């Protein structure tokens, strides 16, 4: 009986599948299959493992092996890997497992088993390939490593392989005959692994690889496209925990077999900060760890030094780093030089990306803002074919990634750092200015009004916010910068992100006040929106002078009857209504409505906000007969509009429903509130402050109808939205607290009711003053409850 037959018999006798036996031995099913077919024989390590597993003596299991076969199987495989195993290699289990599974997966349509580990320089491709070779060396009888960065190095590797295999052609002077001999050997042999390191030139590598082969080919490459040569596995940055563990092991601050549980909180925090600062790049972490180990400094000291001497540290490589002697800066600088020579526009595109938010760079920002760029990049950006070619050039080195689904580019943060560090201060300023001007040219104007632009605003928002930081850092003082700040703030404001919007408005105003050519209308719009933001935050005192200044500027620039004067009039009236100054509010509303009706026509959608606000004003006065036709007129205009603004429709519906609720017409009010609530949820999201208006009124309707449990749910949700810290109007929060307290009082929960009244009273005293009707109402209700509790 042959060894293979005996092995199969013993395996089946123990009810083991080939997969189960392979797993028990730490190998793969194809290896078991080859043993059982007597194609290959297990080497010493696996022979010992088989004897232990089957509890058999070697002479029992291997008695049929000839002396020569046993000698052959005991011989180590042909191993030509020039590097020792990396003792600091950490993590990457998922990538290694994927490589193993896909290389050993036999597909009927696959003519080759070839994979490419692809990614940015310094991402750890070579170390992954090296670890794979060591981890799975027992799966192969031949393991070869070749440097494939140049044709010369690749050919030198082929000569070495020819000598190792003792091929007759090893001494040939004709290079083609040597290459053909090696390709022939790869085509006719199995159980080999060939690793081609730094195979960035895919076309060159293809000349050296046979079209079909039965072994395993593994490439490491910065390229992202391999055609039929190999399937690509992209390597990403390290994860946070993985990066911390690697850094601590590399810096010798943690033993190779120790876990993070053994690390102090202080050291963990410092390591985490370094990993984040290094943007999770393995080579940068290796450099940091090597420096800490060689110099003997602490993690905190290195981090402090890196933050002020980043350029020098990214260019420094430790004296003991023979496996990968190049630094982060050197690794990428070589790629930058090659790109500069091959395609100068691609190099400029990379520099542009160095100043953009790195993770979500819209392709269309580059293609549509070409007028903002310099003479090299501009003609390429406006030509799709040339732009795609420039991106292809960058992808050849994995310096950018392109995601087809989102039409977005991505660049690594450390690539940005190395690029910007290599620039002069003047060059940095020029590129930053181009980025700001480009983003300003594509970010939609007045998103608070043009709601149909919101998807585009959301697409460009990360870049706009990044540009806002550039405007601060470089102290840009030009109109486009102010416009971008204003439009970004406007979009944030309409989505209730008031704290993010406020500093942008304030900085836009500073720019508009200092630029040489005055822009009074832009200044008025910014003042108007900033005042509205203060109102939305309950800071009414700061809002009034801003509204008055915006109104004065527009009246002087456009005339008192221009339609753009109606905006600050409407907003100023809204402010006075909230302050209880009803006699001052009404004439402003009426004037604003008259201006818009004359300028745009009585049925134009532009009159709707004023109609809604004037109707609410009358509703608060109890003049329902004046309010109702205004709400109905607003809804009629919505219905006639070609593309009605859904968010504004919800305002009209909510206002009409609130009026019906105040009149006790609950059956008419409730469905309107629910409709408004649904529209706001669909257009603005489930946590927008506008939803609290409908929720609050729905709670009051439920209270009036005795549905206390449902009312409680509505109040709690409304209060949750208003207290989230998204800048919801503080006075409205007080109203919800007051009415929720009244419900708790009805339910007999006096302690909670007292707490709610007290919170509402504090807010109203601070926002409205002690003598405001709302403050006095809450004070009276709170006092009455306290008397009842005694």
The pLDDT score that the predictor gives to residue 273 is 94
Question: Of the given ranges (200-204, 435-439, 665-669), which has the lowest mean pLDDT?
Answer: 200-204
Question: Of the given ranges (39-48, 54-63, 209-218, 252-261), which has the lowest mean pLDDT?
Answer: 39-48
Residues 712-753: pLDDT tens digits?
999 999 999 888 754 446 778 889 999 999 999 999 999 999
Q: Report residue 294's pLDDT band, with 50, 70 and 90 as the boundaries.
A: confident
What is the DSSP annotation of 375-431? TTTHHHHT-HHHHHHHHHHHHTTTSEEEETTTTEEEE-HHHHHHHHHTS-HHHHHHH
Residue pair 179/151 in contact by the 8 Å Cβ criterion: no
| CA gyration radius, the chain | 36
Residues 106-130: pLDDT tens digits?
544 444 578 999 998 889 999 999 9
- Report the alpha-carbon distance of residue 577 to residue 584 in Å, rounded: 8
Which long-range contacts does 449-453 make (Cβ < 8 Å, 24+ apart)?
451/494, 451/645, 451/646, 451/647, 451/683, 452/643
The reply to whether 745 falls in a domain is: yes
The pLDDT score that the predictor gives to residue 149 is 87
The pLDDT score that the predictor gives to residue 725 is 53
Q: Is pLDDT at 502 greater than 50 in this prediction?
A: yes
The pLDDT score that the predictor gives to residue 670 is 95
DSSP assigned state of 170: G
Question: Of the given ranges (65-69, 498-502, 764-768), which has the lowest mean pLDDT?
Answer: 65-69
Asked if residue 607 and residue 689 are part of one domain, the reply reads: yes
Residue for token pair 């190779």: 256
Residue for token pair 């529209």: 679
Domain containing 290: what range?
240-314
The reply to whether 457 falls in a domain is: no
Residue 749's domain is classified under what CATH number? 1.20.58
Angle at 360 between CA 354 and CA 366, to 5 degrees: 65
Q: Which of 531, 524, 598, 528 is nearest to 555 (CA)?
A: 524
Both tokens assigned to 368? 């549509």
Q: Which helix (H) or strand (E) holds 291?
A: helix 282-295
The reply to whether 737 falls in a domain is: yes
Both tokens assigned to 12? 């089946």
Question: What sign results for the dihedral spanned by CA atoms 250, 254, 255, 260?
Answer: negative
- Report the alpha-carbon distance of residue 274 to residue 256 in Å, rounded: 19
Q: Which of 445, 449, 507, 447 is nearest to 473 (CA)?
A: 507
Residue 216's domain is classified under what CATH number? 3.40.50.300
Instruction: Report percent pLDDT > 70 for the chain.
Output: 95
Asked if residue 733 and residue 634 are part of one domain, the reply reads: no
Residue pair 343/336 in contact by the 8 Å Cβ criterion: no
Asked if residue 631 and residue 536 are part of one domain, the reply reads: no
113 or 297: which carries more pLDDT confidence? 297
Mean pLDDT within 449-464: 90
The reply to whether 399 falls in a domain is: no
Residue for token pair 């070579």: 126
Residues 619-676: pLDDT tens digits?
988 999 999 999 999 999 988 887 777 777 899 999 999 999 999 999 999 999 999 9
Residue pair 720/698 in contact by the 8 Å Cβ criterion: no
Asked if residue 773 and residue 742 are part of one domain, the reply reads: yes
Q: Is pLDDT at 697 greater than 90 in this prediction?
A: yes
The pLDDT score that the predictor gives to residue 195 is 95
540 or 628: which carries more pLDDT confidence? 628
521 or 331: which carries more pLDDT confidence? 521
Pairing of β 400-403 and β 113-118: unpaired
441 or 175: which carries more pLDDT confidence? 441
Asked if residue 200 and residue 84 are part of one domain, the reply reads: yes
Residue 57's domain is classified under what CATH number? 1.10.260.40
Number of domains, the chain = 6
Instruction: Report percent pLDDT > 90 for the chain.
Output: 52
Asked if residue 706 and residue 717 are part of one domain, the reply reads: yes
Residue 540's domain is classified under what CATH number? 1.25.40.10
The reply to whether 610 falls in a domain is: yes
Q: Is pLDDT at 318 greater than 90 in this prediction?
A: no
The pLDDT score that the predictor gives to residue 45 is 64
Q: Which of 577, 648, 668 is nearest to 616 (CA)?
A: 577
Asked if residue 735 and residue 641 are part of one domain, the reply reads: no
The pLDDT score that the predictor gives to residue 208 is 87
Write down which residue in 204, 234, 264 finishes a domain.
Answer: 234
Q: Which of 376, 373, 375 is nearest to 390 (CA)?
A: 376
Asked if residue 140 and residue 165 are part of one domain, the reply reads: yes
Both tokens assigned to 528? 């108007």
- Report the alpha-carbon distance of residue 249 to residue 88 in Å, rounded: 6
The pLDDT score that the predictor gives to residue 509 is 96
- Report the alpha-carbon distance of residue 578 to residue 562 in Å, rounded: 26
Asked if residue 567 and residue 621 are part of one domain, the reply reads: no
- Report the alpha-carbon distance of residue 293 to residue 63 in Å, rounded: 53
Residue pair 681/641 in contact by the 8 Å Cβ criterion: no
Asked if residue 560 and residue 538 are part of one domain, the reply reads: yes
For 700, the 3-state DSSP assignment is helix
**CA 578 distance to own-chain centroid:** 40
Write down which residue in 213, 234, 255 finishes a domain.
Answer: 234
Question: Of the given ranges (139-143, 551-555, 638-642, 784-788), which has the lowest mean pLDDT?
Answer: 638-642
- Report the alpha-carbon distance of residue 567 to residue 208 in Å, rounded: 72
The reply to whether 420 falls in a domain is: no
The pLDDT score that the predictor gives to residue 727 is 43
Question: Of the given ranges (65-69, 155-159, 355-359, 613-617), which has the lowest mean pLDDT?
Answer: 65-69
- Report the alpha-carbon distance of residue 466 to residue 478 in Å, rounded: 17
Q: Is pLDDT at 1 greater than 80 in this prediction?
A: no
Question: What sign results for the dihedral spanned by CA atoms 134, 139, 143, 146?
Answer: negative
Write down which residue in 681, 702, 723 finishes a domain.
Answer: 723
Mean pLDDT within 506-513: 95
Q: Is pLDDT at 67 greater than 90 in this prediction?
A: no
Residues 6+ apart with CB under 8 A from 676: 650, 651, 653, 654, 657, 693, 694
DSSP assigned state of 193: E
The most distant pair of C-alpha atoms in the chain lies apart, rounded to whole Å, by: 112
Residue 748 zone, left/alpha/beta (φ > 0; ψ -120 to 50; rest): left
46 or 430: which carries more pLDDT confidence? 430
The reply to whether 494 falls in a domain is: no
Asked if residue 288 and residue 273 are part of one domain, the reply reads: yes
376 or 190: which carries more pLDDT confidence? 376
Asked if residue 649 and residue 749 are part of one domain, the reply reads: no
Please provide the average confidence, as pLDDT, over all residues in the chain: 88
The reply to whether 413 falls in a domain is: no
The pLDDT score that the predictor gives to residue 109 is 41
Residues 6+ apart with CB under 8 A from 597: 607
């Amino acid at each position: 009986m042959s060894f293979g037959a005996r092995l199969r018999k013993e395996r089946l006798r123990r009810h083991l599948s080939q997969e189960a036996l392979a797993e028990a031995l730490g190998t793969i099913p194809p290896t078991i299959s080859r043993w059982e077919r007597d194609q290959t024989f297990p080497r010493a390590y696996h022979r010992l493992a088989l004897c232990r597993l089957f509890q058999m003596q070697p002479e029992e299991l291997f008695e049929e092996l000839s002396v020569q076969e046993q000698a052959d199987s005991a011989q180590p495989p042909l191993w030509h890997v020039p590097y020792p195993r990396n003792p600091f290699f950490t993590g990457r289990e998922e990538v290694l497992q994927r490589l193993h599974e896909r290389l050993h997966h036999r597909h009927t349509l696959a003519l080759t088993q070839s994979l490419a580990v692809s990614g940015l320089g310094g991402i750890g491709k070579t170390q992954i390939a090296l670890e794979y070779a060591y981890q799975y060396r027992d799966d192969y009888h031949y393991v070869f490593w070749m440097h494939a960065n140049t044709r010369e190095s690749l050919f030198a590797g082929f000569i070495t392989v020819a000598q190792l295999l003792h091929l007759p052609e090893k001494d040939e002077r004709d290079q083609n005959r040597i290459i053909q001999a090696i390709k022939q050997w790869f085509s006719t042999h199995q159980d080999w692994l060939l690793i081609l390191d730094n195979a960035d030139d895919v076309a060159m590598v293809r000349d050296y690889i046979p079209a079909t082969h039965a072994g395993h080919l593994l490439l490491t490459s910065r390229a992202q496209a391999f055609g039929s040569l190999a399937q690509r596995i992209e390597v990403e940055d390290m994860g946070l925990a993985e990066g911390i563990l690697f850094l601590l092991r590399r810096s010798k601050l943690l033993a190779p077999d120790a876990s993070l549980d053994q690390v102090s909180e202080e050291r963990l925090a410092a390591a985490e900060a370094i990993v984040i600062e290094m943007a999770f790049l393995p080579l940068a972490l290796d450099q940091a760890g090597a420096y800490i180990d060689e110099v003997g400094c602490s993690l905190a000291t290195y981090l402090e030094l890196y933050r002020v001497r980043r350029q020098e540290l990214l260019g420094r490589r430790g004296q003991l780093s023979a496996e990968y002697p190049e630094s982060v800066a050197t690794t990428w600088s070589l790629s930058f030089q090659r790109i500069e020579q091959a395609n100068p526009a691609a190099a400029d595109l990379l520099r542009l990306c160095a100043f953009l938010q790195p993770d979500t760079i819209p392709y269309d920002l580059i293609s549509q803002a070409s007028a903002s760029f310099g003479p090299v990049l501009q003609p390429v950006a406006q030509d799709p074919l040339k732009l795609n070619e420039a991106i292809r050039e960058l992808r050849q080195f994995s310096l950018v990634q392109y995601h087809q689904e989102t039409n977005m580019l991505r660049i690594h943060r450390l690539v940005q750092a190395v690029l910007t560090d290599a620039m002069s201060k003047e060059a940095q300023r020029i590129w930053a200015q181009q980025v700001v001007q480009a983003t300003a040219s594509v970010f939609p104007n007045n998103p608070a009004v043009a709601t149909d632009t919101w998807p585009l605003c959301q697409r460009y928002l990360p870049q706009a916010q990044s540009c806002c930081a550039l405007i601060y850092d470089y102290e840009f003082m030009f109109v486009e910068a102010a416009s971008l700040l204003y439009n970004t703030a406007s979009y944030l404001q309409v989505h209730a992100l008031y704290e993010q919007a406020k500093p942008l408005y304030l900085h836009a105003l500073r720019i508009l006040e200092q630029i040489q050519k005055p822009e009074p209308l832009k200044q008025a719009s910014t003042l108007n929106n900033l005042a509205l933001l203060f109102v939305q935050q309950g800071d009414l005192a700061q809002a009034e002078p801003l509204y008055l200044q915006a109104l004065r500027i527009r009246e002087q620039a456009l005339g008192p009857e221009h339609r753009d004067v109606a905006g600050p009039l409407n907003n100023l009236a809204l402010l006075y209504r909230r302050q209880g100054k009803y006699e001052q509010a009404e004439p402003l509303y009426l004037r604003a409505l008259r201006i818009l009706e004359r300028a745009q026509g009585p049925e134009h959608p532009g009159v709707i906000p004023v109609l809604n606000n004037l109707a609410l004003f009358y509703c608060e006065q109890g003049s329902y007969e004046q309010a109702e036709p205004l709400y109905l007129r607003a809804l009629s205009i919505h219905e006639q509009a070609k593309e009605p603004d859904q968010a504004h429709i919800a305002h009209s519906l909510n206002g009409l429903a609130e009026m019906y609720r105040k009149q006790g017409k609950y059956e008419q009010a409730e469905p309107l509130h629910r409709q408004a609530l649904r529209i706001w949820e669909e257009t603005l999201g489930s946590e927008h402050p506008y939803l609290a208006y409908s929720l609050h009124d729905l709670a009051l309707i439920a209270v009036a109808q005795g549905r206390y449990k449902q009312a409680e749910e509505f109040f709690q949700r409304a209060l949750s939205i208003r207290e989230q810290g998204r800048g919801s109007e503080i006075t409205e929060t007080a109203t919800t607290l007051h009415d929720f307290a009244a419900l708790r009082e009805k339910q007999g929960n006096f302690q909670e009711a007292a707490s709610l009244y007290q919170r509402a009273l504090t807010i109203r005293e601070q926002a409205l003053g002690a003598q405001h009707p709302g403050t006095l109402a809450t004070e009276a209700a709170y006092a009455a409850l306290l008397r009842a509790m005694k």
